Structure 1
Amino acid sequence: MTRTRTRNRTIGALGALALGGLIALPGLVPPTAEAAPIAAVNPVTLGERANSGFLVFVRGDVQLGPSSDEAEGTIAAGGDLRFHQAYNVAAGRPPASTFRSPGDDADTYLYVGGRVSWGASSSALSIHNGGYVKIAGGDFDVLHKNPNSTEIVRPGETSPDASPRIFNDRIAQPAASVADTTGAPDFDAAFARYTELSSGFGQCTPSNELLDGPGENALPVPRPIDRHVSQVYLDLIPGRTNVVTMTGAELANIDQIGFLNGQRATRDTPVLINIVGGDFEGPIPRQGWDASQAPYVLFNFPDASRVHVTANTAELNGTLYAPAARVAWQATQNISGNVIAAEFVHGLDRAAGLAGHSRELHELPFDAELSCDENTGRLTLVKEVLGSDEDPRSWTLTGTAADGETISGSTGDPAVTGAEVPAGQHVLEESGGPADVDDYVVGGWMCGPRGEEGSLVMEGGVVTVPPGGDIVCTIVNTYAPPTPEPTPTPTPEPGPSPTPGPTETPEPSPTPGPTETPEPAPTPTPPVTPTPTPTEPEPTEPEPTTPGPTTPGPAPETNAPETTEPETTAPETTAPETTAPETSAPETTAPETSAPAPGSTEPETPAPAPATPSPGPGGVAGTGVDPWPLAGLAAILLAAGLGFALRRRPSTHD
């Protein structure tokens, strides 16, 4: 399937891919209901320090360790606290300010809205940079190892070095201050708003496609991502919230996600990544942006109750926003951003057999405002016809939004011209047309911002109208009637034919001699008759019998030597054997009948006279004279000559 790249900054996710049905670009099932507009807001502070400046802000319980490093920022738990190792809070540079109760000399760096689970804890939890600790649930004692230290231990413990304990070795905090939680954040109010925002942001119309490369010619990645993908990229739209939505399964199939070459997330170009589809378990892909951009990236889990980030994940350069979920960061990398969760575990779960070491929580709080304050756009549907004068209004054009809202009408109708529609995906269709509608070739939908050249919409006719966008979609039909085939001459259907009787075999006409394909007899050269010297014949040799005028018979027998010599020298055409009647005479001439008178010829079937007379077996060439008397005379003369020659041959007996 051909895929066409459309620049996000012009029409958002134009060109959504259809893969096995309509898939909401970029890979999100369309919202079941239109999201309420969300004005620009920092989803962590809510514009009023709803989190009181804490880096890790958890509505319920927090567990620190085992096998984790530290938090470079501050931690606030609305529930209980457990720790299973030596763990540092507010380590590194001084963190962002939080709150102070009246009379306090320092900000609070660790807040526990419930109790410390001493029985489930071990080792020592260290508070750095001179911060205070607040424990709302009581059940603790405060000791001072020296004037500049504070040790918080289980009730009844007398040793400041006891384990488990929470201590600060830079400032002495009074026991009354530890129990005073005046000015503490309102967890219930904050998380009510967080949950609402998380769900609302999850409904935001995606504005960015996932692309297959970091360059300007990158193409959209087919969705859903149901196989391993090494890298995907975002083409950021400056000056607005860039929204990307994918399922948890897709996120786990990606190795790295980044921005196009040279692009950066900033305070006015923040990035919202929605991870939908319920609970999430798996690794977080590497990010192509560094930690300096983390304050402008938020990973939102709007419908998860459990987010379990496993080992072999990458550092999360952004805020992990899952206000309704129990988050377990059991990865071997850092989180560089806020953690907003219903519950939080920082460390590997040894009971689950996980190995490795969970790293740090870096103090890079979210510092941008997100919005999806425009949830409508405008859509115009246009019909054009080429190669015909057919009225384009013969067709009905329809656009159907993800929530089922439909616009429908003919080109030019107000219903499909600048119609206000929900932002998001719309399925485009046409119907109707003239009677010969099948003779029109339907082109693809071409969509783009009003006044700009459109781009081809992908298979399925799905276009995304971005919030506030004004999109014009045109479909062109070209008249292309089939070429008429030549009218064939009708073949008459044969009626029943009478069964023909047997065809009589014509009796062949006698083939006249000259018309047979005869072997042309050589024209007999009249032999030169030598003048015989009269010689008395030897009495032992009988005189040759003069043949009668009938059909000549064989020559008189002679001794073998005498007969072979003349056969080799005499022309074969004059020998009686070679001119036997079988070669030319038809069966109708019977040699047994009485011989005709000399000089007469055998009756022949007359033949048509050829243009040029040619010899035939019935006469001397060109004369029509019967050759048989001449042949007999020639035989007599030949025999006489042979006899004379034999008489004159010298005798070998003398």
Structure 2
Amino acid sequence: MTLSTLLTRRRALLPLTGVAALTAVALLASISSAQPRQALNPVAGTQGFLVMTEGDAKLLGAENEGTVAVGGNLSFDTYQVALRSAGSFVVPPDANPTALVVGGRVNVAGSIPGSRLQVLQNGYVKIGDLTGTVVRDTDNNGAAVNTRVLPTNDYEASPRIELVTRQPVPSVGPASPLDFATAFAGFRRTATDLATCEQNVVLRTANGDPLPRPVPPGSNAVVTLTPGVTNVLNLTATDLANIAVLTFADQPTADTPLLVNVDTGDVGDVFTWRAPNFAGIGGEQARYILLNFPTATRLTLTPDSATVEGTIYAPHAELVATTQSNIEGNVISQTLTHDGGEIHDFPFSTLLNCVQASPTGSPTTPTASPTSPTSGPTSPTSGPTTPPVSPTGPTGGPTFPPTYDPTRPPHPPLPVTGVAVWPLVGLGSAAAGTGIGLLLLARQRRREES
């Protein structure tokens, strides 16, 4: 090949080198801008506990059907834990699951004199600091009996925590098998991320008209869900407070969950909430509803609140639940005062995925006018047991980070991120390398010509 022929071909290649370089830059830019979001289980960090606080808890009335993990100190009145299930959080070599974890100590002075906190279903107890308490599994006559955590070395003393099984005294503590700080750091990140999810639910009146915003006081707000996607409803605290009845035209399911993001900034992040009547659903559907309060620092459920159907997700908040009705779902809060009603064992049981489209590829605004149910089911008083878990994480429910199959309908593929992106990076790098190499060759040929 003659030199003139080579130079002619080299000149023809020069535009292609620019295209290759620009293509590589564009590809790498698109990769870097992809958001690494995926379907997730927002309550996975609870390790299967129904109620979890980072700080102190006061359990004053009346009961919790599931398990409790308190990161700080615990004080109590007469109260029951694990009425329906002791869960499956087993700390080896224990024979039974742990139903109550106290990361700090039992606050005897702050508890009600003469009271008993009962741990049922043969559940065990773990206490991080036994200062001011005595653990016994023998009565005052030396006979073998069920284990108690007492304020003095008297088996009949109170206020006390009493088990319905004989847990070995050394296994009670001092021991705290949970990392509360890490769990709550994760909860707070998740709460913030979920708050950025785009709304795809339109509240309507009973006549099918869009509900005005701001929501008028005393409104009956009708929710119509889009099947097969995470339905997102974003409200201010004032809007939520103005809803008297939240009517479900469709019931949430595992593949059609509802995420309600509540922005409490309009009330200074201190929100007193009279929960509305959740019409058309009950405890089973509550498993698929997450009420996210990402910035609330204090959340109070008033005594006249209706039953809350869904998980209360408020990792920054002091939660004061004085409601005489029930909470059906997980409770995740910075601190907790539970004084009235029951917490029912309907833990959040699916994944949320905000990076998705509707099955038709169009916005998910409902087009049909829903009919308003005339009544909803009464709240169940019992529920299924908590999914099996272990100290290293849940094993019977969604994994975390979850595995996600983008080919499984109706969920569309998520953005390419993580290790899956490296083939694209390699392609972009190869294109960039080819372009740069050809540019260098052209520059060398110019030098030779001169």
TM-score range, shorter chain: 0.5 to 0.7
Return the alpha-carbon distance in structure 2 between the equivalents of residues 243 and 35 of structure 1. Answer: 21
Deviation at 1:136, TM superposition (A): 0.5
Q: 287, 307, 319: which is aligned to 1:327?
A: 319
Return the alpha-carbon distance in structure 2 between the equivalents of residues 96 and 365 of structure 1. Answer: 11
Deviation at 1:252, TM superposition (A): 1.2
Deviation at 1:80, TM superposition (A): 0.5
Deviation at 1:62, TM superposition (A): 0.5
Q: 350, 358, 363: which is aligned to 1:368?
A: 350
Counterpart of 1:310, as a letter, is T
Residue 256 of structure 2: aligned partner: 269
Residue 205 of structure 1: aligned partner: 198
1:64 and 2:43 matched: no
Deviation at 1:364, TM superposition (A): 0.7
Return the alpha-carbon distance in structure 2 between the equivalents of residues 80 and 336 of structure 1. Answer: 24
Counterpart of 2:148, as a letter, is E
Residue 104 of structure 2: aligned partner: 114
CA contact (8 A) 1:207 1:243 kept: yes
Q: 208, 215, 229: which is aligned to 1:225?
A: 215
SS at match of 2:262: strand
Q: After TM superposition, where is structure 1 displaced by more than 3 Å over at least 4 residues in a row?
A: 34-38
Deviation at 1:104, TM superposition (A): 1.1
CA contact (8 A) 2:86 2:98 kept: no
What is the correspondence of 1:487-636 to structure 2 with a 5 Å cutoff? none
1:299 and 2:276 matched: no
Residue 397 of structure 2: aligned partner: none
Residue 72 of structure 2: aligned partner: 79
SS at match of 1:320: strand
1:359 and 2:341 matched: yes
* Deviation string, structure 1 residues 8-64 (Cα, Å, up to 9, x no partner): xxxxxxxxxxxxxxxxxxxxxxxxxx996631111001xxxx212110011111101
What is the correspondence of 1:351-430 to structure 2 with a 5 Å cutoff? 358-374=340-356
SS at match of 1:251: helix
Deviation at 1:147, TM superposition (A): 2.5
Residue 229 of structure 2: aligned partner: 240
* Deviation string, structure 1 residues 146-178 (Cα, Å, up to 9, x no partner): 524011112xx122111111111x321122100
CA contact (8 A) 1:243 1:271 kept: yes
CA pair 35-367 structure 1, distance change in 2 beyond 3 A: farther
Q: Which protein has the larger Cα radius of gyration, Structure 1 or Structure 2?
A: 1
Deviation at 1:219, TM superposition (A): 1.4
Counterpart of 2:124, as a letter, is Y
Residue 410 of structure 1: aligned partner: none
What is the correspondence of 1:133-172 to structure 2 with a 5 Å cutoff? 133-139=125-131, 140-144=133-137, 145=139, 146-154=143-151, 157-168=152-163, 170-172=164-166
SS at match of 1:150: strand
CA contact (8 A) 1:52 1:99 kept: no
CA contact (8 A) 1:211 1:221 kept: yes
TM-score by structure 1 length? 0.47
TM-score by structure 2 length? 0.68
Return the alpha-carbon distance in structure 1 between the equivalents of residues 37 and 317 of structure 2. Answer: 22
SS at match of 1:273: strand
Deviation at 1:141, TM superposition (A): 1.0
CA pair 196-310 structure 1, distance change in 2 beyond 3 A: same
Counterpart of 1:234, as a letter, is V
SS at match of 1:177: helix
SS at match of 2:52: strand
SS at match of 1:43: coil
Return the alpha-carbon distance in structure 2 between the equivalents of residues 275 and 203 of structure 1. Answer: 11
Deviation at 1:96, TM superposition (A): 2.7
Backbone CA RMSD of aligned residues: 2.4
Q: 242, 248, 257: which is aligned to 1:259?
A: 248
SS at match of 2:101: strand
Return the alpha-carbon distance in structure 1 between the equivalents of residues 105 and 81 of structure 2. Answer: 17
Deviation at 1:226, TM superposition (A): 4.2
Counterpart of 1:250, as a letter, is D
Return the alpha-carbon distance in structure 1 between the equivalents of residues 255 and 136 of structure 2. Answer: 48
CA contact (8 A) 2:86 2:122 kept: no
Residue 42 of structure 2: aligned partner: 43
Q: 186, 189, 198: which is aligned to 2:182?
A: 189
SS at match of 1:326: strand
Deviation at 1:116, TM superposition (A): 0.8
Return the alpha-carbon distance in structure 2 between the equivalents of residues 82 and 178 of structure 1. Answer: 17
Deviation at 1:228, TM superposition (A): 2.5
SS at match of 2:144: coil
* Deviation string, structure 1 residues 573-594 (Cα, Å, up to 9, x no partner): xxxxxxxxxxxxxxxxxxxxxx
Give the number of aligned pairs. 321
CA contact (8 A) 1:35 1:375 kept: no
CA contact (8 A) 2:130 2:174 kept: no
Counterpart of 1:116, as a letter, is V
Counterpart of 1:178, as a letter, is V
CA contact (8 A) 2:87 2:97 kept: no
Deviation at 1:138, TM superposition (A): 2.0
Q: 281, 299, 304: which is aligned to 2:272?
A: 281
Return the alpha-carbon distance in structure 2 between the equivalents of residues 284 and 314 of structure 1. Answer: 5
SS at match of 1:197: helix
* Deviation string, structure 1 residues 547-585 (Cα, Å, up to 9, x no partner): xxxxxxxxxxxxxxxxxxxxxxxxxxxxxxxxxxxxxxx
Return the alpha-carbon distance in structure 2 between the equivalents of residues 42 and 99 of structure 1. Answer: 21
CA contact (8 A) 2:58 2:75 kept: yes
Return the alpha-carbon distance in structure 1 between the equivalents of residues 218 and 160 of structure 2. Answer: 46
1:339 and 2:326 matched: no
1:94 and 2:85 matched: yes
Counterpart of 1:296, as a letter, is Y
Return the alpha-carbon distance in structure 2 between the equivalents of residues 302 and 287 of structure 1. Answer: 22
SS at match of 1:41: coil
Identity of aligned residues (%): 37
Q: 105, 111, 116: which is aligned to 2:95?
A: 105
Counterpart of 1:62, as a letter, is A
Return the alpha-carbon distance in structure 2 between the equivalents of residues 234 and 96 of structure 1. Answer: 33
CA contact (8 A) 1:62 1:81 kept: yes
Return the alpha-carbon distance in structure 2 between the equivalents of residues 35 and 138 of structure 1. Answer: 49
Return the alpha-carbon distance in structure 2 between the equivalents of residues 449 and 128 of structure 1. Answer: 50
Counterpart of 2:94, as a letter, is D
Counterpart of 1:253, as a letter, is N
Deviation at 1:180, TM superposition (A): 5.1
Counterpart of 1:223, as a letter, is R
1:174 and 2:168 matched: yes
Runs of at least 5 residues in structure 2 that lack an aligned partner in the other structure: 1-32, 369-410, 413-450
Deviation at 1:95, TM superposition (A): 3.8
Counterpart of 1:143, as a letter, is R
SS at match of 1:114: strand
Return the alpha-carbon distance in structure 1 between the equivalents of residues 122 and 357 of structure 2. Answer: 47
SS at match of 1:194: helix
Counterpart of 2:349, as a letter, is D
SS at match of 2:38: strand
